[in-house]
Amino acid sequence: MVPIVTQKKKKEGASITFSKHSLLIVVSVASSFFVFFGIQYWQQQSVQRELIRAELFWNGYAKLYVEANGNWDGFTEQLERDRYMYAGDPSLSLYFYRGEMGEDLIASTKENEGSSKTRKIAVLSQEAVIGYTEVRLERSIDSIIYASVATGAFIYLIVLWLISRNRKNSAKQQYITSLSLLREMNQTENLSHLSEIEVGSMSITQLATMQERAQSAHAAVIAKIREMASKIEKLETVRQTMVADIAHELRTPIAIMRTQLDSAIGLEMPLSMTKMLTLHDETLRLTRLVHDLQELSLAESGNLPLFKSWFSLSELAEEVLEILSVEGEERNIRTEWTSFPQVRLYADRNRIKGVLINLIGNAFHYTRSFVSVTVRLNEHNNAEFLVVDDGWGIEEEDLAKVFERFYRGKVNGTRKGRAAGLGLGLAIVKEIVTVHGGTVSVDSVINTGTTFQVIIPIMHER
């Protein structure tokens, strides 16, 4: 199950998004002001140049009229006749004054709106001032404001689109990368579809946006990395314990063998049959230890060889139970055998026999008075066998560790000690059952007993 992105991360993401939008708004407003003042400056320069040309033209116009007519009489009518020369520009206003002081307005293209910051230019004729002309050219800033706002809005939308596109691309890339990492880290789980990766009660692909998917997949990768780091830490602890346990397991048989051999060499006498049997037992013990380590290594690496054939699981289980029950008879352990007739498997007989020996042997080792073995076909027509005992049971906190390497059960249900051996048996059982396409599980109640269940397909090709 993939963890949902935490509220803290969502708040941080919202804060970052808000900061980006705030920055974008500031940039857009700054761009609008820049455009506004830029266009205004450009317009002022343009208006100034146009004003100078207009002033020179209309001053010359007035001078030519007065020199041609000798005075200003009829100038208003003439200006009206020539209105085509200024009517095309509604922002242009012309004012004409006569007299040396220019106090008498004799003609204008618009009503005089009072004082103006524009200058009056003297009309000279024969080096005498005969009047004045005043040209006013006004440009509205409305168009500048509209252009500035439009520019700011355009920049805002373009940058917003680019940020959104970049965020989507980044989220998509993050999603793909995270998903790829998840698949690499979960190869044994066979994640072949996006919908198999879930967030709460929904799959990642059902989330509203790609960014949510990317955040969820990223959170899943982080959680998986933490899980792997925790597992590595545990494995390191297990490794250190394993080295100590293996050294301990090897030390005893080697010490016994060396003592016997040193004694024989020192006395220069051949070993007696009793001592030979002791050496043989210790050799078998070492052989089993090395064999178990090798089997587990091959199974975990996927290189465990299988030699499959058809055989009766019922007969094999009954045979193992009969052999192991001899030990139980000495302790007055009662056995119960239940089987469907001829439950057959296409599997490696020797390895399945090893599974049975491990499970039934453990049952006899930990039980108090009763062991039950059942072989049957389940509702899916898979082979199933159950091994039940009435031992001290396994505590709930230890159930998840039962099939781990080097796990050893408690002796008589107490914490005073652990069972002998390296704790490889059930780990090997799990690997052998898994490689046959099956499953193994355990259920236990303290002071009541334990049940191991193994389910294997009748035929499984790997």
**Domains observed in the chain:** 13-139 (no CATH), 229-300 (1.10.287.130), 308-456 (3.30.565.10)
pLDDT band at 207 (very low <50, low <70, confident <90, very high): low
Task: Kindly tell me if the per-residue pLDDT of 200 is higher than 60.
Answer: no
What number is the average pLDDT over the span 437-441?
Answer: 92
User: Bigger pLDDT: 201 or 11?
Assistant: 11
Question: Among 162-171, 247-256, 406-415, where is mean pLDDT lowest?
Answer: 406-415
Rounded distance between C-alpha atoms, residue 44 and residue 141, angstroms: 11
Task: Kindly tell me if the per-residue pLDDT of 196 is higher than 70.
Answer: no
Specify burial of residue 308 (Cβ count, 10 A radius: 0-12, 13-18, 19+). Answer: middle
pLDDT, position 412:
56
Task: Kindly tell me if the per-residue pLDDT of 124 is higher than 80.
Answer: yes
What number is the average pLDDT over the span 153-159?
Answer: 77
In the predicted model, what is the mean pLDDT of the chain? 78
- What is the per-residue pLDDT across 362-405, written as a single tens digit (0 to 9) for each? 899 889 889 999 999 988 889 999 999 999 888 888 888 888 87
pTM for the model: 0.47
pLDDT, position 300:
66
Half-sphere exposure of 279 (CA within 13 A, CB side): 14
Question: Among 49-58, 194-203, 255-264, where is mean pLDDT lowest?
Answer: 194-203
Task: Kindly tell me if the per-residue pLDDT of 158 is higher than 60.
Answer: yes
- Let me know: does 234 contact 196? Beta carbons within 8 Å: no
What number is the average pLDDT over the span 451-456?
Answer: 94
pLDDT, position 242:
63
Rounded distance between C-alpha atoms, residue 388 and residue 399, angstroms: 15
What number is the average pLDDT over the span 327-336?
Answer: 84
- Let me know: does 308 contact 343? Beta carbons within 8 Å: no
- What is the per-residue pLDDT across 75-92, written as a single tens digit (0 to 9) for each? 989 988 888 888 877 888
- Let me know: does 360 contact 387? Beta carbons within 8 Å: yes
